Amino acid sequence: MGASAYLRFAALFAVLTAFLLLVGYVVSYYFLGFGSLAILAVMVSISIIVNAVSYFYGPQMMLRLSKARFVSANELPHVHSALTEISQSAGIATPRLALADQPQPNAFTTGRGKNNSVIVVTKGLVSTMNDNEMKAVLAHEVGHVIHRDISLSTAASTVATTITYMADLVFFSMLFGGGGRRGGGAGIFAALLAPVAATMVQLAISRGREFYADEASAKLTGRPDYLISALTKIEQYIRRGVPMTASPTTSSMWISNPFRGGSADWFSTHPATQKRIKRLQDMQRKSGVYYA
């Protein structure tokens, strides 16, 4: 991930922080009558606690929600072999492998860091991907591990959740006549627009993570066309309605949104599949190497 990517994510977090400070100011000064930003500190603390619990216990929850179990090298030798090869190329410890009892081809990564990560593949993925496509999907998930995306998404969620908590206070204060005439338009903005804007920024961070994991897959395998083929096949199965019984709250974790397919808008957890494919095709074109 290049310097421009880090600058982009820094800018997005700066926007989130700006919304956080704005809503905190409105809550403290316009509606609760506090002479300080004490309420902001309280809400940030609550949000950090909630998301810390999610960070430390989230992997176990994700495995249960996706109906996944750990598998040995004897059970899925070709998948384990590919994952070990990709991990060695990336210079990280090989993540643990889990298999989700899901017919839809898909995959996700969970865990707290490079030395404590789990890559989950579905039964549908194992049965539909050829060896090259499987390698590309695993490389995408290893890309998430390399970029510490779980930590990044947790940080974004912490800020966005805090904004939502404080906006709810504003909304109920307005509903019951709190804040007097001081709130006005600022209160309406805080209650209605700031959480929406914060969610949009959070989703933009999520979409950016997918782009850079795609890029990592292309670099680790040396074959962008492998991931193009895998994403195309996954998209086809999702659009056919092959089911995923996991909770919709897990949608951002998967390599492709299992509940919406690759159609994307500002409120999507993933970029449109066609945009992802185009970026991969651009990488292949710039490399000057074409494959039959």
**Strands across the sheet with 116-122, in order?**
68-70, 96-100, 116-122, 107-113
Q: Could you give the C-alpha distances from 114 to 87, 120, 135, 286, in angstroms and in order?
A: 10, 15, 19, 30
CA atoms within 13 A on the CB side of 119: 31
Compute the distance between CA of residue 270 and CA of residue 266 in angstroms, rounded to an integer: 9
Burial of residue 196 (CB within 10 Å: 0-12, 13-18, 19+) is middle
The pairing of strands 68-70 and 96-100 is antiparallel
Compute the distance between CA of residue 251 and CA of residue 269 in angstroms, rounded to an integer: 7
Compute the distance between CA of residue 70 and CA of residue 271 in angstroms, rounded to an integer: 29
Burial of residue 4 (CB within 10 Å: 0-12, 13-18, 19+) is exposed
Marked catalytic residue, from 85, 133, 141, 215: 141
Compute the distance between CA of residue 25 and CA of residue 22 in angstroms, rounded to an integer: 5
Q: Could you give the C-alpha distances from 133 to 26, 41, 125, 230, 231, in angstroms and in order?
A: 51, 47, 9, 5, 9
- The yes-or-no answer on residue 235 being catalytic is no
DSSP strand E in the chain: where?
A: 68-70, 96-100, 107-113, 116-122
Compute the distance between CA of residue 234 and CA of residue 240 in angstroms, rounded to an integer: 10
Q: What is the DSSP string of 41-56?
A: HHHHHHHHHHHHHHHH
Catalytically annotated residues: 141
